């Protein structure tokens, strides 16, 4: 069952800014990763899913309801963390929490206490005015208010931005727990570690368009394998590079003549042929290099000089 449905979403702000013909869905109990650098269109898509903006064309539904027309019917079932935290001026942390509870008409004090303890938000900190809070404290307060009603769906836009590494790890472990409870989660991020650790399905967005969508396990267990070879002798290195027989089951991705190093790829089913072929060469080092999510992502962005934080 699809909880979130985005079909042919287009919002054109001009000058090639916006999102263009985006389609994806998120099933019940799935963690969907939306990966891309700042300015790629992640937050624009999120705002439409939340019903804050009307699309130029396309449909966005949550629980089968149009998010722009029926936002008031679905927001109480959604926990939302915005990419940029803008808390009301003149309220303390406690007053902000109460305001959100009253707006939602949900007072789940047990979940609230759990979240405050987990993210180490103490009473003295929550008595401060929000404008005096650090970015990290504001981010933790946003996380607490998003989860304190125990919502069915979580829409998380750069949720760990501003958190220290310890709190980032706490957040990732908490998302895994929520996933195990069957929550439906959309995680928009440029952080490879949190996407890789939590997501079932990942989409990569570039210039407002989805350029790749894949199951996380497909990347982790891909049939295409990568190996680094270091040759002991120059002539052996040159013979390998010039040998035409390698073309049938080995692809040379890169080479370093100075280090006598070759980086190759091959299909996992061909590994016995590769080993047999390499056995006639004097090789100092032969090691497998697993393709990471970052490696895969950079294939789409390698021509750009500035990745907007996606590093």
Looking at residue 311, its pLDDT comes to: 37
Q: What is the CATH number of domain 2-214?
A: 3.40.50.300
pLDDT at 115: 96
For 276, the token pair is 């047999």
**Domain 224-290 is of which CATH architecture?**
2-Layer Sandwich (3.30)
Select from 176, 229, 202 the least CA-distant residue to 296. 202
Burial class (CB in 10 A: 0-12, 13-18, 19+), 302: exposed
What is the pLDDT, as a whole number, of residue 205? 92
- Bridge partner residues of 189 (DSSP): 35
Distance from C-alpha of 158 to C-alpha of 66, rounded to nearest angstrom:
24
Query: What residues in the chain have per-residue pLDDT under 50?
Result: 305-311
Contact indicator for 92, 128 with CB cutoff of 8 Å: yes
Q: Which of 219, 228, 239 is nearest to 266 (CA)?
A: 228
Q: Please, where are the H alpha helices in the chain?
A: 42-49, 71-74, 93-104, 109-118, 123-126, 135-147, 165-180, 192-198, 216-220, 234-242, 271-278, 293-301
pLDDT for position 245: 54
- Asked whether 308 and 40 are in contact (CB, 8 A), the reply is yes
Domain with CATH 3.30.70 in the chain: 224-290
Q: How many residues does the chain have?
A: 311
3 state SS for 3-72: EEEEEEEEEEEECCEEEEEEEEEEECCCEEEEECCCCCCHHHHHHHHCCCCCCCEEEEEECCEECCCCHH
**Ranges in the chain annotated CATH 3.40.50.300:** 2-214
* Sole residue written with tokens 């980086």: 263
Q: Are 216 and 296 in contact (CB under 8 A)?
A: no
């Amino acid at each position: 069952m699809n909880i979130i449905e985005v079909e042919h979403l287009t919002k054109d702000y001009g000058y090639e800014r916006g999102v263009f013909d985006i389609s994806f869905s998120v099933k019940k109990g799935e963690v969907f990763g939306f990966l891309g650098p700042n300015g790629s269109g992640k937050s624009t898509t999120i705002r439409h899913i939340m019903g804050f903006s009307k699309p130029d064309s396309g449909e966005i539904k949550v629980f089968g309801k149009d998010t722009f027309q029926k936002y008031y019917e679905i927001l109480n079932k959604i926990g939302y963390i915005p990419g940029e935290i803008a808390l009301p001026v003149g309220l303390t942390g406690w007053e902000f929490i109460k305001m959100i509870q009253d707006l939602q008409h949900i007072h789940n004090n047990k979940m609230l206490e759990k979240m405050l303890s987990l993210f180490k938000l103490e009473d003295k900190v929550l008595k401060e005015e929000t404008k005096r809070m650090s970015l990290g404290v504001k981010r933790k307060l946003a996380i607490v208010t998003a989860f304190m009603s125990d919502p069915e769906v979580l829409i998380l836009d750069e949720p760990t931005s501003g958190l220290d590494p310890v709190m980032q790890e706490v957040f990732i472990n908490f998302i895994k727990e929520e996933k195990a409870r069957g929550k439906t989660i959309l995680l928009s991020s440029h952080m490879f570690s949190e996407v890789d650790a939590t997501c079932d399905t990942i989409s990569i967005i570039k210039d407002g368009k989805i350029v790749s969508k894949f199951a996380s396990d497909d990347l982790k267990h891909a049939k295409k394998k990568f190996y680094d070879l270091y040759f002991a002798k120059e002539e052996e290195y040159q013979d390998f590079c010039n040998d035409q027989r390698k073309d049938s089951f080995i692809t040379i991705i890169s080479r370093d003549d100075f280090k006598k190093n070759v980086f190759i790829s091959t299909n996992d089913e061909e590994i016995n042929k590769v080993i047999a072929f390499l056995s006639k060469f004097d090789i100092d080092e032969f090691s497998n290099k697993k393709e990471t999510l970052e490696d895969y992502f950079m294939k789409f962005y390698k021509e750009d000089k500035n990745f907007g934080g996606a590093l």
